[in-house]
Amino acid sequence: MSDYRVGHQLLVGKTTLKTMTIIDVLIHNQSFQVVDEGGNLFNDFRLDNEDVFAIQTNNITQPETQNAEGRFTVEGDEQVSHEPKWDCGQKVEFECEVKGATLKVEGFITRNFWSNFYLLSEVGVSVPNRCWKVAHSKIKKIV
């Protein structure tokens, strides 16, 4: 495999395997933010210091939009309150207008400390510092 991407899953362990999903790239092909099947978040998961048994690509071979660094803001309805807040690691989707076209993006919540916005990664991205700051009112949960 050439690039580890947001959305890839790792089977990790010595005797009992657990599934960990890459939700953000911190250092290209070296360090990741991951979440396990129990919802536990790990902020500096490194492939060289863990027992990775297998990698599942989930047919993710490219990013939703592009594989370039950047931070983008998607405004929403400020009056819409969102309770309860979703946790980091939750898979979500949103739509936005880009150059007259509607773009649908899937990603994972990587930060949830703002009152009306989440910071999201983008499925398929393999570079660090590619994120979306998206208003709560624009986000839909993916089960």
* 13's tokens: 């362990």
pLDDT tens track for 39-50: 999 999 998 766
CATH hierarchy code of domain 70-141: 2.30.30
Q: According to the model, what pLDDT value does residue 132 have?
A: 94
> Domain segments of the chain: what residues?
9-56, 70-141
Instruction: Please name which of 75, 134, 81, 83 lies closest in space to residue 108, comparing C-alpha atoms.
Output: 134
Q: What is the mean pLDDT of each run of 10 residues along the chain (143 residues)?
A: 89 91 95 95 85 90 88 79 78 89 93 88 96 92 85
